[in-house]
Amino acid sequence: MEQTKTIQEILNRIHDNIAETCTQCGRSSSDVRLMAVTKTVPPERVNEAIACGVTLLGENKAQELCAKYDAYQKEHVEIHFIGHLQTNKVRQIIDKVTMIQSLDSIPLAKEIQRQCEKHNREMDCLVEVNIGNELTKSGVSTDELDDFLAQAACFDRLHLRGMMVIPPIFTSDLEKERCFADLQKLFIDIRAKKIDNISMDFLSMGMSDDYLLALKHGSNLIRLGSVIFGRRNYN
Ligand SMILES: *Cc1c(COP(=O)(O)O)cnc(C)c1O
């Protein structure tokens, strides 16, 4: 019978995989940031991952973040928001996260600006781009991206630092790779335009099933949940 692996063993394995893939594509693995996605995971398990060296957490739900926040051992940890964010929830998370990766509407940008002014702070944001997700409405479509960036860049408390994508579920590796390749191309094109208040530093793509594919297409922030913590229990 296979023994259950500890979080440390799992993380070691993931780091080995990242290093191997980066070597294959001639990249440095030190450019890749690993996020542990904590949805449905009890804080004790999250703290176990932190004790094993995890320095970045990804949170999907404002309510869940608020419930678990105080229990996290977060002296050396950053938290990014990665889930769909309703404008009326921004105030709950504004003082708890260092980045919002799921910026997908101008009303949301406006509310982040408003809450930043109130809390006298600034916020790094990634634009969530919708590539190939015809069924979900989450993310800015590629047709609207230029317009969206031009408008979002006007909010002076927000700093647009890159892009995030969630590929459509139930698609083949080939289709996922196409999605990653498309976003990488957009990322490079937009970076080359050098727009004021937009710096394309982070390309956030790749989850448990596809992070090695994403690394091949320039991802420098991978978001891993189930591969670290095991299958989620939503009950
Ligand atoms: C849940 C989630 C992840 C992690 O998914 P896994 O497949 O468990 O690694 C990554 N990004 C976002 C936005 C998520 O909601």
User: Which residue range is the domain that position 169 belongs to?
Assistant: 7-229
Instruction: Write out pLDDT tens, residues 154-192.
Output: 999 999 999 999 998 888 999 999 999 999 999 999 999
Residue 229 near residue 49 (C-beta atoms within 8 A):
yes
**Domain membership flag for residue 235:** no
* Number of compact structural domains in the chain: 1
pTM for the model stands at 0.96
**81 Cβ contact partners less than 8 Å away, ≥ 6 residues apart:** 58, 59, 60, 62, 65, 93, 97, 99, 100, 101, 102
In a domain, 198, yes or no: yes
Please state, as a whole number, how many other Cβ atoms lie within 10 Å of the Cβ of residue 213.
20
Ligand 1 atom closest to residue 232's alpha carbon, by position in its atom list: 8
Section 48-57 average pLDDT: 98
Domain holding 128: CATH number? 3.20.20.10
What atom in ligand 1 is closest to the CA of residue 209? 7
Atom nearest to 229 CA in ligand 1: 8
The residue whose CA has the least distance to atom 7 of ligand 1 is: 208
- Better pLDDT: 235 or 62: 62
Q: Is residue 234 part of a domain?
A: no
d(CA 235, CA 224): 20
Q: For residue 80, what is the enclosing H or E element?
A: strand 78-81
1 found inside a domain: no
Residues with CB under 6 A from ligand 1: 37, 39, 60, 82-83, 166, 207-209, 223-227
Q: Does residue 2 belong to any structural domain of this protein?
A: no
182-222, pLDDT tens digit by residue?
A: 999 999 999 999 999 999 999 999 999 999 999 999 999 99
Convert the pLDDT of each residue in 117-162 to its tens digit.
999 999 999 999 999 877 777 899 999 999 999 999 999 999 999 9
